[in-house]
């Protein structure tokens, strides 16, 4: 799933291509992609792009008249920049956004369709899609500590909870915890102040470092096509079956029976399950 560094680089690439351009047409082929009915997708057509913004793990495209297209790529969604009016295949393509400057193509690999598009109006509409997590690169240590210790969860769950911290998922939480030398199953309310400070510093350093790494790969002006959760140079994520340079679990394997029982109620089995739980929770708490 695309996380803060990936979304930032996507937005920077889009800024150079669609800011100031007019959205001429939206071609949707994925029947479950569009999740809102009012405003309609047709209301967005003919408007000029004024702003781009990250909302958690979503990409928000702001159009004149304070209308927003909000994309959540989920696990397998990807964006591609193509020539204006590119042909759309119904097998893999979910939508094409035709701008005066070119076409933005949304694809999703696999048979499950989780990517979503919302059309919302104004700041209130954007807030309805924001889980409310803290922006770690914009907060101080005190606010970080308060969010982290609000409830007694495992570190892994706390870091990936979008209601606590914005834009952090499975991949970068692994890298953060490895850098901090803290176990992913350590409980947040049992951390010392020194450990919390170390985690705060490592979280900020990891997100900044990987944003800069991904940004450096786009210096030639190309569009970020090879977006993946498994990056060369990662210390933990994507290294299954390979030796770990540092043990963080007190010698326990993450798949042993005792650990499985420990995590059964505190940690969803996958990030996809977690995102689904959060989405269902958001829908049930929104006013009718």
The tens digit of pLDDT for each residue in 48-75 reads 999 999 999 999 999 999 999 999 999 8
Q: Note whether 121 and 142 are same-domain residues.
A: no
Q: Note whether 168 and 201 are same-domain residues.
A: yes
Q: Note whether 59 and 159 are same-domain residues.
A: no
Closest CA to 67 of 91, 47, 82, 94: 47
Q: Would you say 26 and 73 are in contact if contact means Cβ atoms under 8 Å apart?
A: no
Q: Would you say 216 and 9 are in contact if contact means Cβ atoms under 8 Å apart?
A: no
Q: Note whether 36 and 53 are same-domain residues.
A: yes
- Domain with residue 57: its CATH number is 3.20.190.10
Residue range of the domain that includes 265: 136-285
Distance CA 284, CA 126 (A): 17
Lowest pLDDT segment from 89-93, 98-102, 172-176, 209-213: 89-93
pLDDT tens column, 79-120: 999 999 999 988 789 999 999 999 999 999 877 789 999 999
Q: Note whether 274 and 164 are same-domain residues.
A: yes
Q: Note whether 172 and 257 are same-domain residues.
A: yes
List Cα–Cα distances, 135 to 3, 21, 57, 163, in angstroms: 13, 29, 12, 11
Q: CB pairs under 8 A, 24+ apart, for 56-61?
A: 56/129, 56/130, 56/131, 56/133, 56/162, 56/166, 56/167, 57/1, 57/2, 57/3, 57/4, 57/7, 57/162, 57/167, 57/169, 58/7, 58/129, 59/7, 59/10, 59/11, 59/14, 60/126, 61/14, 61/18
pLDDT tens column, 113-136: 899 999 999 999 999 999 999 999
Q: Note whether 199 and 246 are same-domain residues.
A: yes
Q: Note whether 50 and 79 are same-domain residues.
A: yes
**How many other C-beta atoms lie within 10 A of the C-beta of residue 132?**
11
What pairing do the DSSP bridges indicate for beta strands 23-28 and 116-121?
Answer: unpaired
- Domain with residue 252: its CATH number is 1.10.8.50
pLDDT tens column, 250-278: 545 555 444 445 555 554 555 455 555 55
Domain end marker among 95, 127, 159: 127
Q: Note whether 123 and 140 are same-domain residues.
A: no
Q: Note whether 15 and 96 are same-domain residues.
A: yes
3-state SS, residue 129: coil
């Amino acid at each position: 799933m695309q996380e803060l560094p990936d979304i930032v680089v996507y937005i920077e690439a889009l800024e150079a291509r669609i800011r100031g351009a007019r959205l001429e047409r939206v071609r949707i082929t994925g029947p479950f992609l569009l999740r809102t009915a009012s405003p309609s997708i047709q209301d967005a057509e003919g408007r000029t792009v004024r702003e781009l913004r990250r909302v958690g793990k979503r990409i928000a495209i702001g159009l004149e008249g304070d209308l927003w297209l909000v994309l959540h790529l989920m696990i397998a969604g990807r964006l591609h920049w193509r020539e204006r009016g590119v042909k759309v295949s119904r097998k893999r393509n979910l939508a094409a956004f035709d701008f005066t400057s070119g076409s933005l193509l949304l694809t999703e690999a696999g048979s499950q369709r989780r990517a979503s598009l919302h059309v919302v109006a104004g700041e209130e509409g954007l807030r309805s899609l924001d889980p409310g997590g803290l922006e770690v690169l914009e907060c101080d240590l005190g606010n970080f500590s308060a969010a982290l210790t609000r409830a007694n969860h495992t570190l892994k769950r706390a870091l990936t909870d979008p209601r606590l911290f914005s834009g952090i998922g499975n991949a970068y939480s692994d890298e953060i915890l490895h850098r901090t030398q803290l176990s992913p199953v350590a409980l947040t309310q049992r951390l010392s102040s020194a450990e919390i400070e170390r985690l705060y510093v490592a979280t900020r350093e990891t997100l900044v470092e990987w944003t800069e790494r991904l940004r450096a790969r786009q210096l030639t002006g190309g569009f970020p096509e090879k977006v993946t959760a498994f990056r060369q140079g990662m210390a933990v994520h994507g290294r299954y079956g390979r030796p770990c340079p540092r043990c963080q679990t007190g010698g326990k394997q993450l798949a042993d029976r005792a650990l499985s029982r420990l995590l059964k109620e505190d940690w969803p089995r996958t990030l996809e399950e977690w995102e689904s739980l959060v989405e269902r929770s958001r829908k049930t708490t929104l006013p009718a």
